[in-house]
Amino acid sequence: MCRSTVEKKRFFSAKTRLEIKTMCDVLEQNYVLLVEIRSYLVKKGQSRYKGNVIVAKLQQAKIIFDKCCEIFLLLEKNKDINLTATIELYERIKQKYEEINKLCIAPVTVELGKMDFDLKVACSLIPVMDGIEATTKRLIDSVEMYAGMLDEPGKALLITFVLKSRLNENAKLRISSSYKNIQNLIDDLRKYLLPKKSYMAIQTQLHNIQQGSKSIEDYGSEVEKLFTELTITQAEGKSDAFAILKPINESFAIKRFSDGLRSSKLSTIISARGFSSLKDAIQAAKDENCTSFQPTGNILHASEHGQGSHNIRRSQGFQRGTLRGQYINNYSRGHYNRNNNFNRGQGFRGNFRGNYRSSFNSQRGSRGSRYFRNRGRGRNVLSVEQ
């Protein structure tokens, strides 16, 4: 082989290696670009579906991926190089491109089908007005919820159903007899059927509330009710105002709850804890009342009860012994008196019968007196004579 032919082969071989290195570098650069596109879409979040963000990024990623596919095909035709590293790089590029495609697919939103008006559902869901404020609120909320499930013909039937069968005579006089829009009916129901409360009056009630003789649970429920009414009245149906007023009024309600507690010690404990939730403050007050303000333990009560029973038994024993002693003394004293009278009779009778028996009767009387005197003292001494 001539020298010129060898040099020519070396030249083409070096050129080929340079081109291969350049193409591999291009693949690395395109992989980095795809990684950046994917990171951008992830950072945008749901906002990437707005505008032309998805279209632009998806088109940019497609151009890069197509270019990488062309380079890989050129490298695959060359049999003199090892394609193991190149194939791994191409697989990573393909994976990133598929991830970008998934991020650019908008989520499918499935709309629930609107239902027809059902009279049974309406009768069970929407209550009849009875003059109670809570029932009226439930009626309005039920109408609003059911209207969101109905199609347009169903909403028209719902308007007729509410006006004809759910309202009392007083309510029918306050609102219109026909409506073209269900939302207008709901607005008028709120405006003309619900009483308008003054937030100043509610705030005054909350400021002056005290526990008094109520339990902590009843007292807390009353504070919660005033707090809710105050916030709703001040917000006037505006969600932004409600979000601002709720934490302010809740802090005020917590302070009034703790200040109005009957126990000053419990009030100090609840105030010192710095609650941010009214429900937590009420629950803490109930728990603290159960643990810290309970009566004396059962052991002390049992010991006091046992000592009292012992004293009662001892006093009963004393009374029983006293009565028994009094009975015995009275019994002995009675027998002693009767025996003395008997002895006197015997002595008189002996003296009357004659002097010759006086000594015998005297001795007999003396024995009888000694016998009955001994029996009166509780000694069992038998009589000499029957």
Domain span holding position 341: 298-376
Residue 209 lies in a domain: yes
Same domain, 327 and 369: yes
- In this prediction, residue 113 carries a pLDDT of 61
In a domain, 385, yes or no: no
**Are 223 and 180 members of one domain?**
no
The whole-number pLDDT of residue 70 equals: 86
The average pLDDT across 156-181 equals 93
Query: What separation, in Å, do the N-terminal and C-terminal C-alpha atoms of the chain show?
Result: 179
* Structural domain contains residue 189: yes
Q: What's the pLDDT tens digit per position in 2-44? A: 544 444 444 445 556 667 677 788 888 889 999 998 888 888 8
- Among residues 184, 114, 124, 118, the alpha carbon closest in space to that of 149 is found at 114
Looking at residue 230, its amino acid is L
pLDDT score, position 81: 62
Distance CA(245)–CA(243), nearest Å, equals 6
Residue 259: per-residue pLDDT = 94
Do 98 and 156 fall within a single domain? no
Query: Is 91 found in the same domain as 11?
Result: yes
Residues 7 and 39 in one domain: yes
pLDDT of 24 reads 80
Q: CA dist 366 to 344, 374, 381, Å?
A: 10, 12, 14
186 and 204, same domain (yes or no): no
**325 occurs within a structural domain:** yes
386 domain-assigned: no
* Same domain, residue pair 309 and 286: no
Q: How many domains does the chain have?
A: 4
Least confident of 183-197, 244-258, 264-278, 357-371: 357-371
State the chain's mean pLDDT as an integer: 76
Domain boundary, last residue among 193, 212, 235: 193
What's the average model confidence in pLDDT over 184-207?
89
Same domain flag for 260 and 275: yes
Task: Give me the helix-helix angle, 278-292 and 216-235, nearest 10°.
Answer: 170
Q: What is the pLDDT of residue 108?
A: 54
Residues 94-153 have pLDDT tens digits of 998 998 888 888 665 545 567 889 999 999 999 999 989 889 999 999 999 999 999 999
CATH of the domain at 34: 1.20.58
pLDDT at 74 over 90: no
Give me the percent of the chain exceeding a pLDDT of 70. Answer: 67
Do both 100 and 13 map to the same domain?
yes
pLDDT number for residue 18: 61
pLDDT digits (tens, 9 = 90+) for 331-376: 444 444 444 444 444 444 444 444 444 444 444 444 544 444 444 4
Q: What is the pLDDT, as a whole number, of residue 107?
A: 65
One domain, residues 162 and 239:
no
In a domain, 349, yes or no: yes
Measure the CA–CA gap between 231 and 222, rounded to whole angstroms: 14
Name the domain boundary from 193, 225, 247: 193
Domain end call among 257, 292, 327: 292
Rounded to 5°, the CA angle 279-284-289 comes to 130
Quick check: 202 and 233 in contact, CB under 8 A? yes
Mean pLDDT of 304-331: 47
d(CA 324, CA 140): 85
Q: Are residues 318 and 356 in the same domain?
A: yes
Instruction: Please calculate the CA angle 199-200-206 and round it to the nearest 5 degrees.
Output: 90
Do 189 and 240 fall within a single domain?
no
Q: In angstroms, rounded to a whole number, what is the distance separating the alpha carbons of residues 211 and 221?
A: 11
Residue 226 scores a pLDDT above 90: yes
Residue 199 has what pLDDT?
A: 84
Return the minimum-mean-pLDDT range out of 2-16, 66-80, 231-245: 2-16
Task: Specify the pTM.
Answer: 0.42
Pair of tokens at residue 5: 């032919």
